[in-house]
Chains A and B, each alone.
Chain A
Amino acid sequence: MLRQLEGSQAVAETVALCRPEVICAYPISPQTHIVEALSRITRAGRLGSCEYVNVESEFAALSACIGASAAGARTYTATASQGLLYMTEALYNASGLGLPIVMTVANRAIGAPINIWNDHSDSMSQRDCGWIQLYAETNQEAADLHVQAYALAEELSLPVMVCMDGFVLTHAFERVDLPSAEQVDAFLPAFEPRQLLDPDDPVSIGAMVGPEAFTEVRFLAHARHLEALERIPAVADRFERAFGRRSGGLVRGYRTGDADTVVLALGSVLGTLQDVVDELRESGAAVGAATLTTFRPFPSEALRALLGGKRKVVVLERAFSTGAGGIVSADVRAALPDAELRTVVAGLGGRPVTKAALHRALTADDPPPLTFLDLDHHLVARELARARARRRPGPSAGNMLRDLAEGG
């Protein structure tokens, strides 16, 4: 059913259709509207006996999900930014235990400096924690990905993170086609846990594994992620057959067929990027765009199938590894060793990624391998110079803000 609604509401409504039995939530911007909506839905009795637990931290939120999942309940939580980092220990634990928890990450920058706006620093920081990471391009996809996430998670006994850009998607009102309960029920069978805390069949979940088997356990987790690379497109196909629209999958291209240069990105920036590609095409540039819907496991084969042989690949990243560079770029480089690769870091801490800025970045002559979109070069140069002169440790952010206030 087509409705005009906020992304958070769309996600909450869709999650509700997946019939979670335990929802644990700790509020953090910009995830709040999702958990508020689910609280209302649960309170209204629409989720039957679902338990909605107001926990005291994100650490507790995911921990409670771990317990609930191990006890055989379909579980859900959502977080962002600092909250995701506060969950870190439990993230590794949930995946290590193979618990099919589904979590929405309303992507947001990580402090300091504290910043509530969107980038991908949070989920990117957790790329190695063993969770499947899916990135939504639109609110429609954000909603659809949750249905697919439960199917994947429970099929593979792995937790899944559905990442959607904070504010840009979570707080954006747009048209979303919400499936019916019957459709979701038909698509998503009841949760049958692979392992369960059951007095009639007692097992010990979460044993200590020493050097003699730890490598094998890790390898098996990796193998399950490789299996996910097959199951993600299969689930997306099945979803398409059931719901009549394409969502999810591993990687999607936009006008890549004859492209010489492809801009690869994740999340909601694709809309802007597609516009820019269209405009650049009109000016004759053989540019295409691609999006990684699945970042973990990393779809190297699918990426090669899509972009193998492209001369230039620009990875547009909404996070970066301080002192190293692009995060996604590193994986892309491994997958496309022959491509000329550059990284453009954009939209940090909610800075708008404008078409103009993208135009400038994509038409620049001989750009360096790592650039920061819309960086105030003048400001940072002055700050660096001053820092070199003063050689004192101190918060340069404060200095920069003062400079900005003084009119640079």
Chain B
Amino acid sequence: MDKPFAITLGAGGSQANKTGAWRTERPVYLDRLPPCNDACPAGENIQRWLALAEEPSYEAAWREIMRDNPFPAITGRVCYRPCESACNRGKLDEAVGINAVERFLGDEAIAHGWMVPATAGPSGKGVLVVGAGPAGLSAAYHLTLLGHAVTVMDSGPAPGGMMRFGIPRYRLPRDVLDAEIQRVLDMGVALELGRTVTDLAGAMRGFDAAFLAVGAHIGRRAFIPAGDSARILDAVSVLRGMEDASAPLLGRRVVVYGGGDTAMDAARTARRLGASDAVVVYRRTRDRMPAHDSEVVEAAEEGVRMKWLSTIAYAGGGTVTIERMRLDESGFPQPTGEFEELAADSVVLALGQEADLSLLAGLAGVESEGGVVKVGPDLMTGCPGVFAGGDMVPAERTVTVAVGHGKKAARHIDAWLRGGSHRPPPRHPMAAFDLLNTWYYSDAPASVRPKLDLARRMSTFEEVQGGLEESTALFEARRCLSCGNCFACDNCYGVCPDNAVIELGPGPRYEIDLDFCKGCGLCVSECPAGAITMVPEIT
């Protein structure tokens, strides 16, 4: 139409006006490190596999886990879930049930017989792994994937280490344990059981490197004044004895001395073995107990009694005398002189475990300190080519930490064998909760895993914690907030007042149209995942 000059304008001519010139800072898309990934001792990319799980693509999700952790069905049961403690959703309603989803995927894999093919060409190198616990088997798995020939030697009658001889069945059914270990062995890992390595240098002949993961199996003893008739056992032996043909005899009234997870397991095992009274005696307060909260709660549910701020002053036949303690300013327990007697058929000491480092004798350059082996950031001991991980090195002693050590050691061993060095990729900045805009996530309370009823928990070693139904696992996966990583929600595209966000179509990314972006930062504020940041313009 014949438009009058100036008064009437054509449509959309403003695009000639590049408002990007107003900008003093610009939005930039970035990937931040989700707290779950950051917290995972096995280094799993949890966010990624949750994303695959919610498609739902369970096998792909499982394979994503298997890039880091060969034992999802195990860790899906016994991991203490630092990921969930770190999970940002926990600050919103409840943490995502990562562990439950992992277990679901692990069980799916066992049910379907999914395998991980070892596709790397043989490197021609051989690695000796000492110890078939979670660290050793994890290292064996990863080294095999990297093309190395692995032999695992273990002194025990069956593989699994503490997963078998320390964790009771009611937390980790043995068929699950066996299935996951077998999958690793089926990849071509050689396992030599009943092989206690004492002369490492000798054992290493024919191998190019070694990974030591013998664990910490020796129950720490403490001097307790005791009468001749006192029955004093250690928790490690009790739990190991559970794998024998006949169960240990603990009696009807059992006192467990200690405050860690092993103490809880010992007390809970005692209840299942028929103890009418299982009392945990611990010298500090509950909040200072090293045991994980879930363990303490479940133990209490099962009737385990707790005596906090107490030490055993004397163990006699049928009784123990405990002294009340108080915490001084530094939080250290001090005796009060108040005493109490408890009936006790046996006392189980759960005061921690020591590693048997005798196999290191005569190995040049290897140092130990505080009962554990000193290793570098690459988990190599002072002896070139000899690496160590798991409970025998300074770290938290959990299955998942051990699995992580195995992976880490494998990567460094691989690099060492190839004459290079392994550099982990640089860590992304953290996706802290305050970077999220949680408004955009629907309220979705966590799914609760079914628990075995109490009566059966007290009388059998059946698994306490059930798994999630598929639909529930899917829902739980979808509760993930995708912290710090764009999930293509279109918010930035929608909320830009200047239409300066370009949708690139399929693929999880957008692009800022710097011709028009005024740098208001609305896209940053309204990004649910905190996956955009503002950076100053370089003037």
Contacts and interface: CB of A to CB of B under 8 A. Distances in A.
Interface of A: 96-98, 157, 194-196, 198, 201-207, 209, 213-214, 216-217, 220
Contacts of B2: 194-195
Interface string B72-84: 0000000000000
A222 to B, nearest CB: 13
Contacts of A217: 5-7
Nearest to A194: B2
Interface string B336-360: 0000000000000000000000000
B9 A201 contact: no
A216 B1 contact: no
A96 B11 contact: no
Contacts of A157: 4
Contacts of A201: 1
11 contacts: A97-B7, A98-B4, A194-B2, A195-B2, A195-B8, A202-B11, A203-B9, A203-B11, A207-B6, A214-B6, A217-B5
Interface string B436-450: 000000000000000
Contacts of A207: 6-9
Given A195-B1, A196-B1, A204 B6 contact: no
Contacts, number: 49
A216 B11 contact: no
Nearest to B12: A202
Contacts of B8: 97, 195, 203-207
Given A157-B4, A194-B2, A196-B1, 9 more contacts: A194-B1, A194-B4, A195-B3, A195-B8, A203-B8, A205-B8, A213-B5, A214-B6, A217-B5
State the majority secondary structure of interface residues on B.
loop
State the majority secondary structure of interface residues on A.
loop
Contacts of B3: 195, 203
A35 to B, nearest CB: 30
B10 interface: yes
Contacts of B4: 97-98, 157, 194-195, 220
Considering residues B2, B5, B7, B9, which has the most beta carbons from chain A within 10 angstroms of its beta carbon? B7
Nearest to B2: A194
B7 A205 contact: yes
Interface of B: 1-11
B1 A96 contact: no
B403 to A, nearest CB: 63
Contacts of A96: 7
A20 to B, nearest CB: 22
Nearest to A224: B4
Contacts of B10: 203-204
Contacts of A202: 11
Contacts of B11: 202-204
Contacts of A195: 1-4, 8
A99 to B, nearest CB: 10
Contact of A220 (B1, B5, B9): B5
A157 B10 CA distance: 19
Contacts of A203: 1, 3, 8-11
A195 B6 CA distance: 13
A97 B2 CA distance: 13
A216 B7 CA distance: 11
A207 B6 CA distance: 7
A157 B8 CA distance: 13
A96 B5 CA distance: 11
B7 to A, nearest CB: 6
Contacts of B5: 213, 216-217, 220
B526 to A, nearest CB: 29
A81 B10 CA distance: 38
A98 B6 CA distance: 12
A73 to B, nearest CB: 16
A268 to B, nearest CB: 36
Considering residues B1, B4, B5, which has the most beta carbons from chain A within 10 angstroms of its beta carbon? B4
Nearest to A207: B9
Nearest to B4: A98
A321 to B, nearest CB: 30
A209 B6 contact: yes
Contacts of A98: 4, 7
Nearest to B11: A202
A224 to B, nearest CB: 10
A258 B2 CA distance: 48
Contacts of B7: 96-98, 205-207, 209, 217
A195 B10 CA distance: 11
A204 B1 contact: no
